[in-house]
Structure 1
């Protein structure tokens, strides 16, 4: 492998790593970094391995990533008695939390968001709201695990085709 190929591979792998960072920091668009890695491989090396079925399968994985995210959050909140307000509060908390409280905000944000939404919009008592907030954290963690598996599958499929 020559020096330029090493630089190209370093860029592609860096994009894949950033995609995994996006799993815990939702402000980072994981899917775009994965797609950028795939496209840069084509630009740097060759698009030949990427037939139409590659893009179709990756597109299905992308849809699965979005569906998994929403469903895991919804199930986590609904299982603990939450409502649509709790889901929205949790979603807002996931986005805002890391900015307000770096690192821990990714877990505290959805927890507080779900609690706040249930208290304000559904007039739940504090104990019920805390239970729903806990469900939002469980949903978020489940979502991260599921999306990690999906992204690993996307990258493995990519490497199977290009190696």
Structure 2
């Protein structure tokens, strides 16, 4: 049973890394579940500090994932219309049947939102949409780093207990 839990946990880690770029998959949450499964094995004693700190990081990253693109829009001069457009565009982009809809959606959403606010100022709308895109990239990079750290932690714990596990 320990081997099955290790395999499922590792698969969740890999899915978490992919999920850091695809908003359909909750990357850090999947990686955290991989860590949790590691502690369900009989060979590894539960470390509540690692699980607790990694859970706090996962929750914080998950919240920031929705805040950063909107803050990027605001930082580049966007209005509340652009921020709402970013969030709506992200949701629409996830479900849109187009390639890279999760990237195009927030950009177009912020652009359309800003044009609704002031249809004459295309330059400002484009600048706010660029801020949304930069915010999305920053958020994805942050999730990727966290998922890679979780994977490193997973491998380190397995390596320390390899004599008992295998």
TM-score band w.r.t. shorter chain: 0.7 to 0.9
| Number of positions where the alignment pairs a residue of Structure 1 with one of Structure 2 | 158
Question: Does the 8 Å CA contact 2:2/2:42 hold for their aligned counterparts?
Answer: no
**TM-score normalized with structure 2 length:** 0.79
Aligned to 1:87: 83
Q: Which runs of 5+ in 1 are unaligned?
A: none
Distance 1:104 1:9 in 2: 32
Question: Does the 8 Å CA contact 1:24/1:106 hold for their aligned counterparts?
Answer: no
Distance 2:82 2:50 in 1: 37
Pick closer, same or farther for the CA change 1:77–1:47 going to 2, 3 Å: farther
Q: 4+ runs of 1 displaced by more than 6 Å? A: none
Structure 1 SS opposite 2:20: helix
Residue 155 (structure 1) aligned to one of 135, 151, 155: 151
- Please report how far the alpha carbon of residue 109 of structure 1 lies from its aligned counterpart in structure 2 after TM superposition: 0.5
**TM-score normalized with structure 1 length:** 0.81
Distance 2:47 2:79 in 1: 43
- Please report how far the alpha carbon of residue 103 of structure 1 lies from its aligned counterpart in structure 2 after TM superposition: 2.8
Q: Which runs of 5+ in 2 are unaligned?
A: 160-166
Aligned to 2:163: none
Residue 50 (structure 1) aligned to one of 12, 32, 46: 46
Distance 1:57 1:150 in 2: 12
CA RMSD after TM alignment: 2.5
Deviation string, structure 1 residues 121-151 (Cα, Å, up to 9, x no partner): x225222111111111111011111111122
Deviation string, structure 1 residues 59-93 (Cα, Å, up to 9, x no partner): 22113313442453234212210123322211221
Residue 62 (structure 1) aligned to one of 58, 65, 85: 58
Residue 99 (structure 1) aligned to one of 95, 98, 122: 95
